[in-house]
């Protein structure tokens, strides 16, 4: 008999509400602070950058927030996404444990990012916004937002980190195909960009610099807003459609995970798959573990400090309470571009501090080895970011086998790697190298912070 591999849901089972974990947190996330006065900011301080509906979600403590029909309607282009039992991977590992994965690479942009791009474009459209500005690293967020803006007839302008703009042309073509304008960052279009170029005309750019540029354009134009693809509370909440569907699918499979694993950049796909399970932990005391996996080259969760820091490089955003390596930290050029961000979000940082979630850091060669094994046993070529989750799955199954126990493990396959084949080419030709950050570099970057510490 055919063993069940694929667990699907009906279109009617697309979630009707997003889950807001803040409602169930005993220690609420600390408030953001004004960048100059260091006083807590109110929702009105964010009004130049975001539409009111998203600001309300950002500060909401309501447990369930209804997903508008127009958003569910566009979600149905690719949602519900499939879940798979990784029978091939289990066999190759010779493990007693069961491995499941939720596959978010079926979206038009190839990752989980449209889950938040669509509602963000929708709320901007509802409030009459004409243009949205954003930044993108390797191009995954920029392409998701370009796609979403086109659906609602909004102009989209993207500041793309220069090394990626030059090295990853296909993501740029995707954005152009969906009608967005794309600039290499740092650019000479903003004060932020010009100030960086004055210091270093050859600057390769960074996510933090590109954020500064996009925020500046939004803050200085009345009809333009800004949009962020990770880190913020409302972004994490939009992604909970992943975990809400996954819970139903696990139920259909007659199972429940002991461990839920996802890669960690700013926390959105990790939040998306884990928060609905953490609800069971926070409310009913279930013993589910949630593990966030970061690269050793950008280890904010495992080696960063919990303190207030800026979301960008120039220091224009509010101060966010987060595990951070410092906003001037420039990570090594690993291939998992989506994981090269200096900080984590306020919610995840609080959950980590309270021991509700765990973190691990893994080198990129171990990640690509796991990604290769996955491609050859399950088919999909994973995004380099997703390889971090797979490498952790391998670690966890080995640990369980050593202890002689069987675990049920669920991980998020947050995107496919079809645009990242140059990274696979490097791996296959033995040219991929590991980067470990020295404690000296971390100390140096943190010492540059003059933002308030957290008691
Ligand atoms: C953007 C991205 C990430 C990292 O961002 P999170 O907000 O931490 O999810 C990871 N994987 C993929 C495929 C991405 O596009």
* Ligand 1: residue whose CA is nearest its atom 2: 338
Q: Is 334 in the pocket of ligand 1 (CB under 6 A)?
A: no
* Ligand 1: residue whose CA is nearest its atom 15: 140
The per-residue pLDDT for range 198-257, each reduced to its tens digit, is 999 999 888 888 999 999 999 999 999 999 999 999 999 999 999 999 999 999 999 999
| pTM for this predicted structure | 0.97
What gap in Å lies between CA 265 and CA 245, rounded to an integer? 22
What gap in Å lies between CA 56 and CA 318, rounded to an integer? 16
39 CA distance to ligand 1 middle (Å): 31
| Average per-residue pLDDT for the chain | 95
* Ligand 1: residue whose CA is nearest its atom 13: 415
Structure-block tokens of residue 93: 């590992």
**Helix, strand, coil abundance in the chain, percent, nearest 5:** 45, 20, 40
- Among 349, 115, 329, smallest CA distance to 229 is for 115
Q: Is 117 in the pocket of ligand 1 (CB under 6 A)?
A: no
Q: CB–CB of 326/446 below 8 Å?
A: yes
Q: Is 273 in the pocket of ligand 1 (CB under 6 A)?
A: no
pLDDT of residue 242: 99
pLDDT of residue 333: 73
The residue extents of the domains of the chain are 6-13+68-110+234-447
pLDDT of residue 207: 85
- Tell me phi and psi for residue 337, to 5 degrees: -55, -35
What gap in Å lies between CA 379 and CA 332, rounded to an integer? 29
Q: CB–CB of 14/68 below 8 Å?
A: no
Please, where are the H alpha helices in 77-126?
A: 87-93, 114-126
158, containing H or E segment = strand 155-161
pLDDT of residue 141: 97
Structure-block tokens of residue 149: 């803006």
Structure-block tokens of residue 399: 């640990």
What gap in Å lies between CA 304 and CA 292, rounded to an integer? 14
Secondary structure letter of residue 348 according to DSSP: H
268 CA distance to ligand 1 middle (Å): 7
Lowest mean pLDDT among 34-38, 108-112, 282-286, 293-297: 34-38
pLDDT of residue 11: 97
Lowest mean pLDDT among 24-33, 76-85, 162-171: 162-171
Average pLDDT, stretch 110-116?
98
The two beta strands, 408-413 and 98-103, are parallel
When the candidates are 3.40.50.1100, 1.20.1260.10, 3.30.465.10, 2.40.110.10, the CATH number that belongs to 6-13+68-110+234-447 is 3.40.50.1100
What gap in Å lies between CA 106 and CA 61, rounded to an integer? 31
- Among 294, 241, 232, smallest CA distance to 263 is for 294
* Ligand 1: residue whose CA is nearest its atom 3: 338
Q: How sure is the predictor about 63, in pLDDT bands with cuts at 50, 70 and 90?
A: very high
Q: CB–CB of 289/260 below 8 Å?
A: yes
Q: How sure is the predictor about 390, in pLDDT bands with cuts at 50, 70 and 90?
A: very high
Structure-block tokens of residue 146: 């370009």
């Amino acid at each position: 008999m055919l063993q069940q591999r694929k667990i699907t849901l009906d279109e009617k089972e697309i979630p009707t509400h997003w889950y807001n974990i803040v409602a169930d947190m005993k220690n609420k996330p600390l408030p953001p602070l004004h960048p100059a006065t260091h006083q807590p900011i109110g929702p009105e301080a964010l009004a130049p950058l975001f539409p009111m509906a998203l600001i309300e979600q950002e500060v909401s403590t309501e447990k369930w927030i209804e997903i508008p029909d127009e958003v569910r309607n566009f979600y149905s282009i690719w949602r519900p996404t499939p879940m798979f039992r990784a029978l091939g991977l289990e066999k190759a590992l010779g493990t007693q444990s069961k491995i499941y994965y939720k596959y978010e690479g079926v979206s038009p942009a190839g990752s989980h990012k449209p889950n938040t791009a669509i509602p963000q474009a929708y709320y901007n459209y509802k409030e009459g916004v004409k243009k949205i500005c954003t930044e993108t690293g390797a191009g995954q967020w920029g392409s998701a937002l370009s796609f979403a803006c086109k659906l609602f007839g909004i102009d989209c302008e993207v500041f793309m980190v220069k090394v990626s703009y030059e090295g990853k042309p296909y993501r740029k073509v995707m954005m152009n195909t969906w009608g967005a304008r794309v600039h290499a960052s740092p650019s000479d279009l903003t004060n932020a960009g010009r100030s960086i170029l004055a210091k270093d005309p050859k600057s390769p750019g960074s996510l933090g610099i590109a954020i500064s540029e996009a925020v500046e354009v939004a803050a200085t134009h009345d009809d333009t807003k800004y949009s962020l693809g990770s880190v913020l509370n409302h972004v994490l909440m939009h992604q909970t459609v992943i975990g809400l569907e996954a819970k139903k699918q696990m139920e259909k499979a007659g199972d429940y995970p002991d461990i839920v694993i996802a890669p960690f950049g700013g926390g959105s796909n990790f939040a998306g798959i884990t928060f609905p399970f953490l609800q069971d932990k926070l409310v009913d005391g279930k013993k589910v573990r949630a593990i966030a996996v970061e690269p050793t080259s950008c280890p904010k969760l495992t080696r960063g400090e919990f303190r207030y820091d800026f979301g960008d490089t120039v220091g224009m955003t509010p101060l966010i309470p987060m595990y951070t390596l410092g906003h001037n930290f420039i990570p090594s050029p690993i291939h998992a571009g989506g994981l090269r961000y200096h900080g984590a979000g306020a919610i995840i940082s609080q959950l980590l501090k309270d021991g509700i979630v765990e973190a691990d850091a893994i080198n990129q060669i171990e990640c690509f080895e796991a990604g290769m094994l996955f491609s050859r046993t399950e088919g999909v070529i994973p995004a380099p970011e997703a390889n971090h989750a797979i490498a952790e799955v391998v670690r966890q199954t080995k640990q369980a086998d050593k202890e002689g126990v069987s675990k049920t493990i669920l991980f998020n396959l947050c995107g496919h790697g079809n645009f990242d084949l140059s990274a696979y080419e490097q791996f296959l030709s033995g040219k991929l190298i590991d980067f470990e950050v020295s404690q000296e570099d971390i100390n140096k970057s943190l010492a540059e912070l003059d933002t308030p510490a957290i008691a």
